[in-house]
Amino acid sequence: MSATQSDIRLHNVTKRFNELIAVNAANLTVAAGEVVCLLGPSGCGKTTTLRMIAGLDFASDGEITIAGRRVNELPARDRNVAMAFQFYALYPSLTVEENLAYPLHAEGLSRAQIAERIARVAKVLELQSVLKRRPHQLGEGEKQRVAVGRSIVRTPTCFLFDEPLSRLDIQLRQTMRTQIKEVLAHLDKPTVIVTHDQIEALTMADRIAVMRAGRIEQVASPHDLFSRPANLFVAGFIGTPQMNLLPATLLDVAHSAEGGAVARFHLLGEDISAAVDPAAVRLSAGSKVTLGVRPRSFEIVAPDVPDALHSVVDLVEPMGAEMLLHLLEHGTDIRCVVSHTARVAVGEKVGVRCKQGQLHVFDETGVLVQ
C-alpha cells in the first residue's frame, strides 16, 4: 500500500435527514500522520461527518474512501476505524482490561498477543494500576485514557475522536491534549477530531476544517486560519477575543511603491488609509467592505496621530498579562488587547491604529480579499 493510499478522502459527501441537510457537499482529505480537526458551532454537521467516516451513519451522496477503498456501503464493523466517543462509551460491564481487549477479539489474536498489546497501551497511558477496575470506578481522566487506549490498542486504518476533552477539567485537558498528541504522533495514521473548542483545535490539529450549517467553510493550518480567514464567519469564529469586524466604504486603492497596496477607507465617520493586500486593487471605489482587525492587531497611539481611529475608552477588562479594552466610537464597540502595563483610564480619549499588514479586508460577499 503506498503512502498516499492510507488517507481519508471525502468527495462531495452529503447527508440528508429527510428535509434537513446536515452535511452539504463536504470535500476533505486527511493524509496519513495528519490530524485534522472539524471545528464549528453545535449543529454544524461536524459529528455527522465523523459518523459517516465511522460508518455509523451513511452518506446520502458523494464518496468516502479510506486507504483508497470506497467505504460508503461498508458497515462500521468492517471498516477497521477506531473511534473515541465524547462520553467515552466504555463497556460498563467489563473491566478496563476487558475493555481494552474488546477490539482485539475481532482481529483474531492469540491470548498472549492480546495481553502483550494491552500491556503496551496500559504503559503508554499509565493505566496499569486500574486494569482490574470497572468504568464506574474510574475518574474522568482515567475514563478518557481508557477510551483513547481502546482506540489505539489495535491497528486501525484511521482514528476518529468526538469531542475528546470536553468532559475534563482545564488542567486535565492540557495534560490529555499533550498526551493524545504524543500518542498520535507515533501512529502515522490519518486522524479526525471533532471539537467545538477552538483552543483544542488550534493546539492539536495540523489542519482545521471550519464547518457551518453543513458546509466546510475553510480548511487550513491553524496559522493560516488565524492569519488569513477565508470569510467573515471564519474570521469571527476563530480567535478570542473575537476579531473586530467593522463595516467600511472603500474610497480608493492603489499599488504602493513596495509592491503592496494602500487603500483609503471611510470607517466609523473617519477617513483613514492603510496598507492592504495587493489583491484589493480589483475592488472598485465606493464598494462596501468589512475590515477585520484582531484585538491584538491594534495599537494604542496618541489621539493626534494620523490614520488612527479616535475613540474613548469605555471599559477595561483585566486578563492577567493583558488587558481587554472596549473602545467606543460612533456607537461601535472596538475590542483591543494591550499589555497590562499600558496606562489607560476609562473615559480617556485615545487613538487606535491597526498594526502594519494585519488588516483583513472582506468584500461585499464576505470573502477575504487576497
Partner 1 sequence: MSKRDIRAVGIAGWGRTLGAAIISLIYFFPVLFIILTAFKTRQDALAWPMKFIFAPTLSNFVSVFFRTSVEGGDAEATGFGLYFFNSVFIGGTSVLLALIIGTAAAYGFSRFPLRGNDTYLFMILTTRMMPPIIAIIPIFVLFRIFGLSGTYVGIIALYTAFNLPFSVWMVKSFFDDLDRDIEDAARMDGSGEWRVFKKICLPQVYAGLAATFVFAVILTWNEFVFALMLTSPETRTVPAQIVRTIGGSMGVDWGLMSALETLFIIPVVLVTFALQNQLLRGVTFGTIRR
Contact positions vs partner 1 (CB under 8 A): 54-56, 75-83, 85-87, 89-94, 102-103, 105-107, 150
CB of 329 to partner 1, least distance (A): 49
CB of 89 to partner 1, least distance (A): 4
Q: Say if residues 152 and 159 touch (Cβ distance below 8 Å).
A: yes
Q: Say if residues 38 and 46 touch (Cβ distance below 8 Å).
A: yes
Tell me which residue of 37, 40, 41 sits closest to 28, measured CA to CA.
Answer: 37
CB of 22 to partner 1, least distance (A): 17
CB of 145 to partner 1, least distance (A): 15
Instruction: Select 78 or 169, whichever has its Cβ closest to partner 1.
Output: 78
CB of 132 to partner 1, least distance (A): 17
CA 83, distance to chain mean position in Å, is 19
239: its cell numbers: 480567535
Instruction: Select 17 or 87, whichever has its Cβ closest to partner 1.
Output: 87
Instruction: Select 158 or 334, whichever has its Cβ closest to partner 1.
Output: 158
> How far apart, in whole angstroms, are the C-alpha atoms of residue 255 and residue 280?
9
CA 285, distance to chain mean position in Å, is 35
Instruction: Select 56 or 172, whichever has its Cβ closest to partner 1.
Output: 56
Contacts of 258 (CB under 8 A, 6+ apart): none
Tell me which residue of 77, 48, 44, 81 sits closest to 65, measured CA to CA.
Answer: 81
Which helix H or strand E contains 37, and what residues bound it?
Answer: strand 35-39
